[in-house]
Structure 1
Amino acid sequence: MGGCSAPNCSNSTSIGKQLYRFPKDPVRKKKWVVNCRRDFEPTPHSRLCQDHFEQSQFEELAKSPAGGKKLKPNAIPTLFSAGDPPYPAVTTPFIMLPLKHELEKEPNVGDHGYARRTPLLGLEEEDGDRTAAGQQSCTQCHLLKKQLEKEMQHTVRLQKEQAEEMKKRLYRLDRIEKGLQNFLYEDQIRALSLTKRSRRAVWSPETILKARKIRSAVGTKGYEYLRELGYPLPSYRTLCNRLETKIMVTTDMSCEELAELGLGLVGACNSPTEDVGDNDEEDLLGVLS
């Protein structure tokens, strides 16, 4: 640790003496310099030991952070063994300052440093760099926080837009389903979601009856054309299998012609217009057996 800056004084903390840094106030600092009989400019590391202050310059009850004596906010050193000072020594603290300013001025407790809190050489510069780095880090954190808030607001806005779009789509689908129910049965609506080649629909009796009526109205070619367009209708084989009355006959008439008669007659034939992959609840061979 450093020693006392007064002439002919070698006190330091190593022998148990407390050291105090020069005050920051230029007027008080000048008084300290004049009284210690030196004509120099104190540095941030310059100190005076406790032996140069009268007992009246210390606080009676308050202690320093290190547990030692604490100087009064307006303390002035007056005890020196050197020759006469270059200027008259100042013995009364702030004697040249008006009393009004003395009362209004708040004590600068941080003016006097104590030995155990004295920074080493170069630590003050490191503290300044650390403070600047901390301020820069805080600024960056503030910017990142703002950016995060903007991203969160953007995400919330997108979620609201997607929710509104989904509501609109569900409303449109509901309208479409209600429109389909006006001319399609429920099993026909389900069949629309199946692919044409892998259709595994289960047709209701109502749908079978309606399909027979449509086939009789539009004919064989018209019926198969509707099925090719994607209209949910059972195949001709399914219609044959679902007939309530089944009578096997041998005739030169085609299966389509027999079906158009509406007599419940089934011929042993394979219609070329049947689709492979359509779900037949009973195979035509089972009818022939």
Structure 2
Amino acid sequence: MGGCSAPNCSNSTSIGKQLFRFPKDPVRKKKWVVNCRRDFEPTPHSRLCQDHFEQSQFEEVARSPAGGKKLKPNAIPTLFSVGEPPYPAVTTPYILLPLKPEPVEKELNFGDHGYARRNPLPGLEEEDGDRTRDDQQPCTQCQLLKKQLEQETQRTARLQKEAEEMKKRLYRLDRIEKGLQNFLYEDQIRALSLTKRSRRAVWSPETIMKARKIRCAVGTKGYEYLREIGYPLPSYRTLCNRLETKIMVTTDMSCEELAELGLGLMATCDSPTEGVGDNDEEELIGVLS
């Protein structure tokens, strides 16, 4: 076991004395060396025992990790049993006292002074062992918090990925909407989200006129086919109700024949049933443009 480095002192931890490491601060370390009346350079294993410090140099309440007394941060040893006048310099060319062999022991990290590596008192070894085992056991609350942190991290990563996917989808939908605006009016775009042939669709005058032109161009069957595949167009009954000047006539001519006349007449002849709200009457409804 290590012993005290002061002259004429053989105290060590084996007799229950606390040993303190020389400070790392060069100024304080020099004061310690000068006060112990030795001309030597302390090694990391050099120690001074508790008998060389006045009681005022110790903390009143604080204890070292090993359970012993704790020196104040600015403690200076002053109690030595050698010559009164301190030798002035650590680097003097002559040796004042015979050098005492320095003990060699394994370097331990006990802070600035290496506070008191004391032998445990009888009966305390078992308590210290239990305390060490308790310190080594993982904290249940820490494990729970760590697990919750990992779950929240995974959830955050998943939400960030979903947010990126939603941004891409919104970008694609925005491009699709801009493309639809090239050949559809706003009311036609809104009608795409409604139930097929729903009465809730509100058609603008522009859409009515556009639908009339399409029906005259493609005929009754072509117009109904476009509506069947989902093209947003009003029903034939809606066209008849929305056009202003109406003339009720009867004729044996088909819709295609009326269209060829170029009179702007529309008829329900041979028109298929158009569902809820469609016109089921047999007579011709002609509309003059």
Query: More helix by proportion, 1 or 2?
Result: 1
